[in-house]
């Protein structure tokens, strides 16, 4: 390494890799292609290895490039948190929080916390992403997200991340209002022949679906529709005679109860709790802690017996 690395060079390398071409990266950064090319060349000269290579599919990183990109993104995340810390010390009330949330959390608990948080920190910026456990773990470990608010099973063990249960919940079968099964008391065995819709983002949706039946000693139904869109899943349930699995507390929301109803089950259903997931042994910024305090407060009210809205 013959010269110090510049943050701008690292950002240009990440941008080119994400865009897949120098031209597209230059457009996204509002720079000329020649300036991006020169920046990458200087970075390669400083390190002494080739970082990018051209293929028929576009520009892709070499092994050395991938290693440097991983470190560059970690550096960028740490710098973002440092800016948050400084903003807090100066009393500016700004800064940024990156949050991942599972779809059901994103349609219920999270919006209420965001509204309350913005009253406390109106200048803060929030990035909200949809993601599910366990697929979210890699980005949590890398620092791409400050934390996630996801549905997790009760057997979670992972030394790289910390879990904090916000709301204890369980999954229940749900159908549209007016469905023939809506008013019946059912068993899982009786639901084996139903037409099922599964929310599947990665493998987690199928995991909870299969676990529900396997725990009861049953073979999971094979005739299913799998959706990677929660919006699509909800529309299918509302428009057809399908059954799905949803968190029980989500179905306590009066707005959802007009169109979706839980099936009354004769046996206990598996727990599937709402939890905060964040990096272990990592100090969150004061701004993140403020949001989490708000989230805990909202979750406590949701869990109170007197309030039936999620």
Instruction: Report mean pLDDT in 10-residue bins for the chain, 310 residues.
Output: 79 91 91 93 91 87 91 86 81 88 88 95 93 88 92 76 90 92 90 89 68 88 86 91 89 80 88 90 90 95 59
What is the value of pTM for the model shown?
A: 0.76
Alpha carbon distances (Å) from 257 to 121, 175, 178, 299, 306: 33, 10, 11, 20, 17
In a domain, 82, yes or no: no
Q: What is the dihedral of CA 66, 71, 77, 80, to 10 degrees?
A: -120
Do 215 and 229 belong to one domain?
yes
> Quick one: how far is CA 239 from the chain centroid?
27
pLDDT at position 307, please?
Answer: 46
In the Cβ-directed half-sphere of 245, how many Cα atoms lie within 13 Å? Answer: 28
pLDDT at position 154, please?
Answer: 64
Do 196 and 118 belong to one domain?
no
In a domain, 83, yes or no: no
State the DSSP H helix or E strand holding residue 303, giving kind and residue range, or none if neither: helix 286-303
Contact yes or no for 291/99 (Cβ under 8 A): yes
Q: 27: burial class by Cβ within 10 Å (0-12, 13-18, 19+)?
A: middle
Burial 136-166 (b: 16+ CB within 10 A, else e): bbeebbebbbbbbbbbbbeeeeeeebbbeeb
Do 140 and 278 belong to one domain?
yes
Q: For residue 10, give both structure tokens.
A: 């690292």
Q: How far apart are the C-alpha atoms of 10 and 309, rounded to whole Å?
A: 46
Among 156, 166, 175, 155, CA closest to 108: 166
CATH of residue 114's domain is 3.40.190.10
Q: Respond yes or no on whether the N-terminal peptide bond of residue 175 is cis (omega within 30° of 0).
A: no
pLDDT at position 82, please?
Answer: 85
Total structural domains within the chain:
3
Do 132 and 208 belong to one domain?
no
Q: SS3 for 196?
A: strand
Do 134 and 258 belong to one domain?
no
Do 200 and 57 belong to one domain?
no
Contact yes or no for 37/22 (Cβ under 8 A): yes
pLDDT at position 108, please?
Answer: 84
CATH of residue 38's domain is 1.10.10.10
Q: Which domain holds residue 298?
A: 93-168+273-303
In a domain, 87, yes or no: no
In a domain, 190, yes or no: yes
Do 256 and 199 belong to one domain?
yes
Do 251 and 175 belong to one domain?
yes
pLDDT of 52-68, one tens digit each? 998 877 899 999 999 99
Do 138 and 257 belong to one domain?
no
In a domain, 88, yes or no: no
Contact yes or no for 27/33 (Cβ under 8 A): no
Q: How far apart are the C-alpha atoms of 257 and 108, rounded to whole Å?
A: 13
Contact yes or no for 205/138 (Cβ under 8 A): no
pLDDT at position 35, please?
Answer: 93
Contact yes or no for 302/309 (Cβ under 8 A): yes
Do 234 and 277 belong to one domain?
no
Do 69 and 117 belong to one domain?
no
In a domain, 309, yes or no: no
pLDDT at position 3, please?
Answer: 67
Q: What angle is formed at CA 238 by the lines to CA 232 and CA 239, rounded to 5 degrees?
A: 90
pLDDT of 217-268, one tens digit each? 999 988 789 988 888 998 999 999 999 999 888 887 777 778 889 999 988 8
In a domain, 81, yes or no: no
Q: For residue 166, give both structure tokens.
A: 């916000």
Q: Tokens 């929030």 appear where?
A: 126
Q: How many Cβ atoms sit within 10 Å of the Cβ of residue 247?
A: 24
In a domain, 212, yes or no: yes
Beta strands per DSSP E along the chain: 52-55, 58-61, 96-101, 125-130, 147-152, 161-167, 171-176, 185-186, 196-199, 224-227, 244-247, 260-262, 264-265, 273-279
Do 229 and 294 belong to one domain?
no
């Amino acid at each position: 390494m013959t010269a110090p690395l510049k943050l701008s060079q690292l950002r240009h390398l990440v941008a080119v890799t994400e865009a897949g071409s120098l031209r597209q990266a230059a457009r996204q950064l509002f720079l000329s292609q020649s300036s991006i090319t020169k920046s990458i060349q200087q970075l390669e000269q400083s390190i002494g290895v080739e970082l990018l290579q051209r293929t028929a599919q576009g520009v892709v990183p070499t092994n050395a490039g991938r290693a440097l990109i991983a470190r560059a993104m970690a550096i960028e995340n740490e710098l973002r948190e440092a800016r948050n810390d400084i903003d807090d010390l100066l009393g500016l009330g700004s800064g940024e929080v990156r949050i991942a949330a599972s779809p059901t959390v994103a349609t219920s608990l999270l919006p209420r916390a965001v509204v309350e948080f913005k009253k406390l920190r109106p200048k803060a910026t929030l990035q909200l992403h949809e993601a599910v456990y366990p697929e979210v773990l890699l980005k949590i470990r890398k620092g791409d997200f400050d934390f996630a608010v996801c549905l997790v099973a009760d057997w979670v063990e992972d030394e790289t991340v910390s879990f904090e249960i916000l709301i204890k919940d369980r999954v229940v079968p749900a159908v549209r209002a007016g469905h023939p099964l809506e008013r019946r008391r059912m068993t899982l065995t009786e639901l084996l022949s139903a037409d099922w819709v599964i929310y599947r983002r990665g493998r987690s949706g199928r995991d909870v679906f299969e676990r529900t039946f396997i725990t009861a000693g049953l073979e999971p139904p094979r005739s299913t529709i799998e959706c990677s869109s929660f919006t699509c899943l909800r529309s299918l349930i509302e428009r057809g005679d399908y059954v799905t699995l949803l968190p029980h507390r989500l179905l306590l929301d009066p707005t959802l109860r007009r169109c979706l109803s839980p099936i009354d089950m004769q046996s206990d259903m598996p727990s599937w709790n709402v939890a905060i997931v964040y990096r272990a042994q990592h100090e969150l910024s004061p701004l993140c802690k403020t949001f989490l305090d708000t989230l805990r407060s909202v979750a406590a009210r949701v869990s109170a017996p007197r309030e039936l809205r999620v």
